[in-house]
Structure 1
Amino acid sequence: MKAKLLLTTAALLTAAATFTTINSQENEMSFFITSAGSGDGANLGGLAGADAICSTLAQAAGSRGKTWHAYLSAHGTSSSDRVNARERIGFGPWYNAKGVEVATTINNLHSEYMQLGKENSLTENGDTVNGRGDSPNQHDILTGSSLSGRLIDDGSNHTCNNWTSNGEGTAQVGHFDRTGGGQNPNSFNSAHGSAGCGQENLVATGGAGYFYCFAID
């Protein structure tokens, strides 16, 4: 009887451990705010450079086996088509470094029902980022995107020359804490434009050159 009880207990513990492992894998980090930018303003080395920063930070935090893309839009050129941020980040769901689901689908991410905000929009290390009311305020997040996550196509450049400029220009930014000033102060991805593309310009309007990273798989 005792032997059967021990076997049953062992089986239950094994099943629980297996469930925990699977659940942990399912809720593995697939979204974060970069804990550091390029250090060169909005010059991220283009989309490829931004993706590389995402991958480097994720791997340093212990993430393995995922493909990371920056949530950034870009203008079309003679050799490439326009890029919409929402179309380069996979399909969801996405979880932060603490396993909290922040959005279920692309449409959910761009709706009032997503769970981004100061509490859940964490870095790859699970840390909170300074927001409005903190010193320094770093809530501006580079996106180059409209409220729907698409390139702003109004004849002007809102991507600091496709994320290669650290001088003149502007980048559309969102507020990760979903509060502040600008045309859309509560928007995570399209609150207002930056005062320029240099590091000092980004800092002056409440940023630090950070951006969002999403795992596409």
Structure 2
Amino acid sequence: MSESERDEEPPVQAVVLDIYPNGRSSGGRGGYGNDPLAYALGTRDFRLFEVTFESTPDVSIDDYVAVDPPAENVKRIRNVEYDDISSGAKSELEYVVAEIVDENEQRFVDFYNEAQPITLRLHQLNLLPGIGKKLRNSILDQRKRQPFQSFEDLEDRVAGLHNPKEVLVERIIEELRDDDLKYKTFVGRRDE
């Protein structure tokens, strides 16, 4: 990718899940004198980040922070796993994932429109909680007739599919919590 192409790309954003203005309280210093840090969730690939700041940032929970390229005040960004984030960040996670799915509805409706078989016996749609063979076939039949336009359209046209947005949120949370899942559709790999 050329430098001009990179300049045209919007920065990768993350939503702040929890913030420690005085840093972590480990090391016997009670957190004072440590670099401020936050736990955040990437909006594109749902990767979890630990963001360390040079000075106390002007951000709070549910604010956006640029992670690639990093915001001006960012000292370091590190990919972390679900078990590494604070309990406060874990409690915010489901709300933030739902918010991201809401704000990018077409992107996630397109998942229902474009999901493909993984193997001869397994389809991407079957990875979603509560979607078995019958419901999967119903989704596939309806999307052949006409692509889905919204979550509401999906729910109206596919009998038995209740709250398709919540189904996606549940799967994304599952992928975040279980780092050993064989198939990950929404959450980026930690080593990327």
TM-score (norm 2): 0.27
Larger helix share, 1 or 2: 2
Q: Which has the higher contact order (CA 8 A, sep 6+)?
A: 1
TM-score (norm 1): 0.25
